[in-house]
Copies of this chain bind each other. A is one copy, B any other.
Amino acid sequence: MTPPTITKLCQDLPPTDSNEAFEALLERPGLKLERIVSRGHATPPGEWYDQEQDEWVAVLAGAARLRVEHHGSYELGPGDSLLLPARCRHRVDWTDPDQPTVWLALHVWP
């Protein structure tokens, strides 16, 4: 067996440009765990995520504001997590432009 290696989720961050950086940490049939790094990124105006899969998200570092359709805004900081069920329309209204925001996102398909 290859020795397990430590991944430092809040260090060695990938560069970002006009897009957030997405990296798969674990992929198996029906699920994907990924790290997302945002630097001031937001979902384009008027756009929503409307997914067929459940998504659990957590913020590890930084700060973000998530909007859930019909349910308002959620301020997220380190250690905050949220379950977004399939078809729960949501968008990222804001992430801190002055520091990286590091997310974990676990997508689970039905």
Contacts and interface: CB of A to CB of B under 8 A. Distances in A.
Contacts of A78: 10
Main secondary structure of the interface of A (DSSP, over half): strand
Contact of A82 (B7, B10, B58, B106): B7
A30 B110 CA distance: 11
Interface in A9-39: 9-11, 25-26, 28, 30-31, 33
Taken together, the copies of this chain in the complex come to 2
Interface in A59-110: 60-61, 68, 70-71, 74, 76, 78-85, 88, 104, 106, 108
Nearest to A110: B28
Contact of A28 (B60, B71, B76, B108): B108
Contacts of A11: 79
